[in-house]
Every structure is written in C-alpha cells, then in structure tokens.
Amino acid sequence: MYRQPTATRAEILEATGLNPASLSHCLKRLIDAGLVLRVGELEAKAGRPADLLRLNSEAGYFVVVDLEASPIRFAVSNLLGEIRSRWEEGDPAKAMEVSVIKRGVDMVCSPLSAQEREAVLAISICRPGLVDAEGRVTSVNLGWDRFPFGEKVREVLDKPVFVENAGRSYLLAEHWFGAAAGVRDCIFVEVGKGVGGAIFSRGEFFQGRTQAEFGHITVEPGAPDLCKCGKAGCMEAIASASNVVRQYLDRVGRPGQSVPSLTVNDVIDRARRGDPHALAVTDRAVRALGLGLSYLSAIFNPEVFVVGGYFLGSEDFLLPRLRAELAMHAREWSGSCRVVPCATGSDIGLRGAAALAFYRVLEDPDLLRRLSEPRMRLAPKTRH
C-alpha cells in the first residue's frame, strides 16, 4: 500500500500471500485504527464492487533531516514522504552541532498542532559518512572513525532517532519515488562535495564485510591528484566538485589559488562554450567516473545508474559522455544498463530519510504498535 495510491483486497491478497480470513482480520484492525482508509469502490464484473483502500498518509509523521545538503534541510513529512513543513539552517559547517539539529527539529515542528506533534513517530537523519547500525559515523573527509553521532543526537531529542548515510538515503528516495522506482538492481552515484553513493543488489542494500566508500577506488594509478584518504588517483580526487575546480585553476595558471566564486558549474559552463581547459578537466572527470562505474557494472550489472550532484542541471552535456565512457569499458553489459539523472530533486535527502523511517517503523514492534493502535487520526489533507 506504500507503493501505490490505492489497492484492492485482491491485490493485497496476491502481494502478501495471506489467506482471505487473516487479511480481513488485519484490514479491519487497520481500518478501525484509522491507518487504512476506504476511499472508493471499483465496480466488479460480477458480485460486489471491490473496496479501494488507501494508506492514511496522515496517520503518522516523521521529522526528516538532510545534513548533506547545504543549506541543511529539515522537514516534517507524512507517512508517505510528502513534505508538510520545512526549515533550513544556512551554515553547513554547523551540520555537526547537535544543538543546531535540536533547534532545527524544534523549528520545523513549531507550526504543528499538538495532535500532529503527538503523531510524529521518529526523527530520521541522513548525513555524510558511513553509518553503522548503532548510528556511529566513519568518514575519510571528516576524519571520523565510528563517532557516536546517533547517541549524541538521541540525548537531546525525545523521539526515536534513525541515522543513515546520505548515499543510501538518496538511493532509497530514487528507488521509492524517483528514477529507479521499483528497480531491484540500481546504483546511486553522488558526484558533488565527494564521490560516493549506494548499491541496491537484488532488492537489498549491498554491503561487503564492512561498508565501503567507493569514491576512493583508484581509477588513475600514478596520477598526481592526492586524495583526502591518503591515496592518489581516486575517483573522488579527480571528479569531485572541488577537484574539478582545482584542476581548472591549475590549467589556467592559478594553481593553488582559491577563487571562491568559481564553482564546478562555472567550469562546466565554460566547457560547454568550448574553453579547452574546462573541456579537458570535465572530460577527465567523466573518464574517471566512467571507469569507476564500469567496475561496479562488471560486478553488480545494475539495470540503472542514477547520478546526482553537479550532474544535475548539466545532464544534457555530461550524461552522454558518461554513457559513452561506461560503454567503452563495460561493453558486454552496458546494453541493458541505463544511466539517468536523479529525479527527486533537491528534496532527495528528505524523501530518502522519510522512506527509511517508514521501513524502520515496520521493523520496530513498539513503533508499529503505536502506528496501528486505535486512536484519533488526522484526516488526509491532499489526495496523492
């Protein structure tokens, strides 16, 4: 019922494999609790018309936070990941401060009624770095090694807190609401401040013995581009936004000089207009990404690569080049592999955090009980 606007009993029977009596029992309870709504009837060829059922999108809320975005974004989402209110914190450097997170959560909840506040089930945060099951964060770029971020945040908030890596959250958003909707084998690649992402393989998050930051795969052994991770020639050292700008400044004779006003988008614009230095730099970034993606393709053979970050807005210019590069190194597989821009826009982190929260609630007996027990419900404000 999360997947589609309405469902019939027959569809739910087929999807769940429950027997009709069990399903009737469950549905009655969920309808009585206000979690499932009867929203219409579907005329049947014979017999009674079938009820059209819908998840009550307002049966619960989440506070969702995207600490990877700048500015940092806070929102209240309903059960289905639709945004109900927003708050932004301008200074991304403050993303690490627990007091800033606490204030953002308070601010975004301030327009809520007491009843709505009561219906907030959890706070779901997506953020840079690898996040383990206990909410500890490891990040080459931040220099963190299993920093107990989740614990620190839980100390100041009075609801359950879920923490997830931004790449995984973005992938969830695209898998549920975006360019990889329903695709079981898809890889999200974020090319921005860093290069990273997440992998869905056979319908589940892939993880090896430990989580990995695939932006730190060496794509140009012997390259002079030093990486924060201590190696050289990583995908990130060549293709991240700041590294594209760095290489451009090196080529136009201002090496090491900081030009705060020059962004990766400026470099891409210059490449588009034929600036040979900008073209050389963006081509090198695309070659590095294409090669890195070809490794992932060889191993996972995803149906879809969803690309986010600075590719958005320049996808007409960058994506054909990336596809050609990938095809060159993954010829055997690329025929069936699409490379597409992400589709959930700048709310990607918030919507991913909401999808994650819904899943975590399903896995948590206490929260699930809270969600499905009879009590006053808010009526849906919008149809979706």
Chain residues that interact with a copy of itself, rule: CB under 8 A: 140, 184-185, 201-202, 207-210, 212-214, 216-218, 221, 229-231, 287, 291, 294-296, 298-303, 328-329, 331-333
Q: Which is nearer to a copy of itself, 56 or 294 (CB)?
A: 294
Q: How far is the CB of 173 from a copy of itself (least distance, A)?
A: 21
40 vs 203 by CB, closer to a copy of itself: 203
Q: Which residues pair with 138 in a beta bridge?
A: 130
Cα atoms in the 13 Å half-sphere on the side-chain side of 166: 28
Handedness of CA 247, 250, 251, 252 (dihedral sign): positive
Q: How far is the CB of 131 from a copy of itself (least distance, A)?
A: 16
- Retrieve residue 147's tokens: 């920093």
Nearest residue to 120 via CA among 161, 92, 152: 161
Q: How far is the CB of 284 from a copy of itself (least distance, A)?
A: 12
Nearer to a copy of itself, 65 or 227 (CB): 227
- Cβ proximity to a copy of itself: between 100 and 223 the closer is 223
In the complex with a copy of itself, the residue whose CB is nearer, 336 or 382, is 336
Nearer to a copy of itself, 2 or 295 (CB): 295
Q: Which is nearer to a copy of itself, 154 or 231 (CB)?
A: 231
Cβ proximity to a copy of itself, 156 vs 328, nearer residue? 328
Smallest distance from a copy of itself to CB 169, Å? 20
Beta-carbon contacts of 293 under 8 Å, excluding residues fewer than 6 positions away, are 187, 189, 305, 322, 326, 330, 339
User: What is residue 196's three-state secondary structure?
Assistant: strand
State the minimum distance, in angstroms, from the CB of residue 200 to a copy of itself.
10
Question: Of the two residues 82 and 236, which places its CB atom closer to a copy of itself in the complex?
Answer: 236
User: What is the torsional sign of CA 93, 97, 103, 105?
Assistant: positive
Rg (CA), the chain: 23
Q: Are 293 and 326 in contact (CB under 8 A)?
A: yes
Dist. CA 88–CA 96, nearest whole Å: 15
Can you list the alpha helix ranges (DSSP code H) found in the chain?
9-16, 20-32, 98-109, 114-118, 149-156, 166-177, 235-239, 241-251, 264-272, 276-300, 315-329, 331-334, 348-363, 365-372
Report the DSSP pairing between strands 144-147 and 137-139.
Answer: antiparallel
**Residues 144 and 152 sit within 8 Å (Cβ to Cβ):** no
Among 311, 381, 343, 317, residue whose Cα is nearest residue 58: 381
Considering the complex, state which of residue 256 and residue 335 has its C-beta at the smaller distance from a copy of itself: 335
Alpha carbon separation from 215 to 209, 232, 376 (Å, rounded): 17, 12, 47
What one-character DSSP code corresponds to residue 211?
Answer: -
Do 241 and 254 contact (CB within 8 A), yes or no?
no
Decide: residue 144, CB within 10 A, 0-12 exposed, 13-18 middle, 19+ buried. middle
